[in-house]
Amino acid sequence: MMKYQITFLPSNQITHAPEGTTVFNAANWAGLAIDSTCGGRGTCGKCKVQMRAGANSISDADRKFLSAEELANGWRLSCRAPIHTECIADVPRLMTSPQAALLGYGRHVAIDPNVAKVYLQLREPSLEHQQSDLARVVAALDKAGYSARAIPEVWRALPKILRANDWKITCVLVGDELIAIEPRDTRDKMYGLSLDIGTTTVVGAIVDLNTGTVVAVKSALNSQAPMGADVISRVSHTMMNADGLEVLQSRIIGTINALLDELLAISAIVRENIYECVAVGNATMLHILLGIDPEPISVAPFIPTILESVTLPARDLSPHPSPKGEGAGVRLHSDARVSTLPHLGAYVGADIVAGILATGLARNKDEKIRLFIDVGTNGEIVLGSVKRTCATAAPAGPAFEGAQIKCGMRASNGAIEGVRISDDVELQTIGNVSPIGICGSGLVDAVAELVKCGLVDKSGKLLLRDEARARGIAEKLIARLVEENGVRAFLLAENIVLTQPDIRALQFAKGAISAGVQVLMQYMSVTEKDLHEVLLAGSFGSYINPASARLIGLVPWIDVEKIVAVGNSAGEGAKIALVNYREREAAKRIPEYIEYVELSGRAEFNDIFTEALGFPTVDG
């Protein structure tokens, strides 16, 4: 089969692809991420590239998503651009560092990590003291109060390190495993890595295990994104491609290692001093990380292969596990361990367990009822107190991530994150730069403000100009009501509109979460008056305006002061599990006392969901 050269700008990366391969797939093979939320199925319109040479004919999808001016200038959807000649594609820079909520709810946690460093000054052997090197070390550790089992790598390292350092060494223990022997006293260099592996974003933090101090924090786009915006798309990729699981696992490990490189550069820490990693995420993400087929999660009765916490060598996290060396697994200390927290169910994962740990939900001694919502594609919900707690997940869809929104984008520089409407429109953008799109928090704000000013009615319908004028709406706002190809829209800024379908997408997302909340409240006989607090978690939950969330019906109608953003609670929970092993053991027991409620098994869900699609009545 004929192969053609394709050059990607601005990186000038060159690859060769068989005739008929799409530009989107060629980019993926070359390791380049082109923005997409549908996995290259031609339904999101996000994967546009400018063909500098070799532009293909215009497809129906191109006409749907691209303007006439863009088409004339060579813009095409890369997933609908087959290669039939040598070509040059200019790829818009993908925002690889989306904004993420990096501050948690603030718990004071004692420093008692699973990692320990023990400095030993051993007595040299003699003809009178014929103890083996290993026995000598193990006995000294036992005397210091540590029971440890040495791994083979330690056996091999012992002879030279002991004799080259006057029998003065530091032992590195992870749990009950002696994983390393280091020359002299290195107790001041002991670090761990926490990972919150989201479907869209991965957040990593290096933590000093001696002090609990976060040394460096960074976020990155999950490089699996071109394979789909949500977990169902990722699972579909593993089912439809023979090497799908291997590719997805390689991508997430690549994301982690690239993120780790940035963290090491920021902190000036050596990777060999990072001995343990605690990873959290939803069940699908962690199954893929571990190289486990996630397909059973996606079909009834939705049974994961593993719900339990697991621990394994970091180098084994690879499609092709190999002896320690460069490129093997997650690149920490060569014998570092990676642990995951447990899941509650197929769709309430370790990230929610970590959130429960971070917020102290269900462990508060005041016995007050709290509602925890991780606002995102899957919409995980936990409701309860120390007496009883239930959890569920609502299929909210990707609207909160800016997907399936005409001008939607992830939370990056230039995204509209806040909207205020009075006589005119005021916008707040991430980075305080000119707006280029709208992210989840901005979407919630915009719709809430349109509902409040009367331009969107209770059913979610965006008014026409005559209808708005009849209601006495300000002319400046009426001038922003437009129609594009028969579709109603509101002009937020130049070339940025909020369309009627966008509003419907948000209604679906918030309706699903609201219905999930109501099902749990009915199941537990809880009313709005019983709620002491609503905790909004996750990157999106942390940036959504509580008043706007209440106004659109995303959360119950309680005092705004009781609606609290708790930051990246999953990441904070991972850090807590990293710096205190007793807290980690407590997290492992969380699934034992939380009841999982499957919404698909609740007859009332559909009726409640239909009712929840509308907007609450707004006074004034």
- The yes-or-no verdict on residue 312 having pLDDT over 90 is yes
Q: What is the pLDDT of residue 455?
A: 97
**How many of the other CB atoms lie within 10 Å of CB of 585?**
12
List the strands of the sheet with 425-429, edge to edge.
Answer: 425-429, 415-421, 437-438
Residues 363-369, mean pLDDT to the nearest whole number: 75
Q: What is the pLDDT of residue 430?
A: 92
Q: What is the pLDDT of residue 94?
A: 52
- The yes-or-no verdict on residue 303 having pLDDT over 70 is yes
Of 209-213, 525-529, 536-540, give the lowest mean pLDDT range.
536-540
Q: What is the pLDDT of residue 326?
A: 47
- The yes-or-no verdict on residue 538 having pLDDT over 70 is yes
Q: What is the pLDDT of residue 620?
A: 41
**How many of the other CB atoms lie within 10 Å of CB of 424?**
11
Q: Phi, psi at residue 159, to the nearest 5°? A: -55, -50
Using DSSP, how many helices (H) and how many strands (E) does the chain show? 19, 27
Q: What is the pLDDT of residues 398-453, one digit of tens each?
A: 888 887 899 999 888 999 999 999 989 999 999 999 999 999 999 999 999 999 99
Q: What is the pLDDT of residue 365?
A: 62
Cβ–Cβ under 8 Å, residues 341 and 278: yes
Pairing of strands 415-421, 425-429: antiparallel
Q: What is the pLDDT of residues 21-30, one digit of tens each?
A: 889 888 866 6
- The yes-or-no verdict on residue 462 having pLDDT over 80 is yes
- Reduce the DSSP state of residue 316 to 3 states and report it: helix
Residues 489-517, mean pLDDT to the nearest whole number: 97
pLDDT band of residue 96 (cuts 50, 70, 90) is very low
Residues 9-14, mean pLDDT to the nearest whole number: 83
Residues 300-309, mean pLDDT to the nearest whole number: 93
Q: What is the pLDDT of residue 45?
A: 85
- The yes-or-no verdict on residue 476 having pLDDT over 50 is yes
**C-alpha 402 chain-centroid distance:** 14
Domains in the chain: ranges and CATH:
3-90 (3.10.20.30), 115-183 (3.10.20.880), 191-340 (3.30.420.480), 359-397+506-612 (3.30.420.40), 399-501 (no CATH)
- The yes-or-no verdict on residue 327 having pLDDT over 80 is no
H-helix or E-strand containing 227? none
Q: What is the pLDDT of residue 29?
A: 67
Torsion of CA 36, 42, 48, 49, to 10 degrees: 110
Q: What is the pLDDT of residue 225?
A: 86
The Cα 502–Cα 508 span in angstroms is 10
Q: Of the candidates 278, 219, 509, 501, which has an alpha carbon nearest to the alpha carbon of residue 373? A: 509
- The yes-or-no verdict on residue 362 having pLDDT over 60 is no
**Torsion sign over Cα 201, 206, 207, 213:** negative
What mean pLDDT value characterizes the chain? 90
- The yes-or-no verdict on residue 183 having pLDDT over 90 is yes
% pLDDT > 90, the chain: 71
Q: What is the pLDDT of residues 283-294, one digit of tens each?
A: 999 999 999 999
The DSSP symbol for 165 reads T
Torsion of CA 303, 306, 309, 314, to 10 degrees: -140
Residue 177 or residue 322, greater confidence? 177
- The yes-or-no verdict on residue 107 having pLDDT over 80 is no
- The yes-or-no verdict on residue 99 having pLDDT over 50 is no
- The yes-or-no verdict on residue 162 having pLDDT over 90 is yes
Q: What is the pLDDT of residue 593?
A: 87
The Cα 146–Cα 114 span in angstroms is 12
Of 31-35, 108-112, 270-274, 523-527, give the lowest mean pLDDT range.
31-35
Helices of type H across 411-499: 440-453, 465-470, 475-478
Which amino acid makes up residue 499? T
**How many of the other CB atoms lie within 10 Å of CB of 427?**
18
Cβ–Cβ under 8 Å, residues 421 and 562: no
Q: What is the pLDDT of residues 221-255, one digit of tens each?
A: 899 988 987 888 899 999 999 999 999 999 999 99
Q: Phi, psi at residue 405, to the nearest 5°? A: -115, 130
The DSSP symbol for 431 reads G
Helices of type H across 360-499: 440-453, 465-470, 475-478
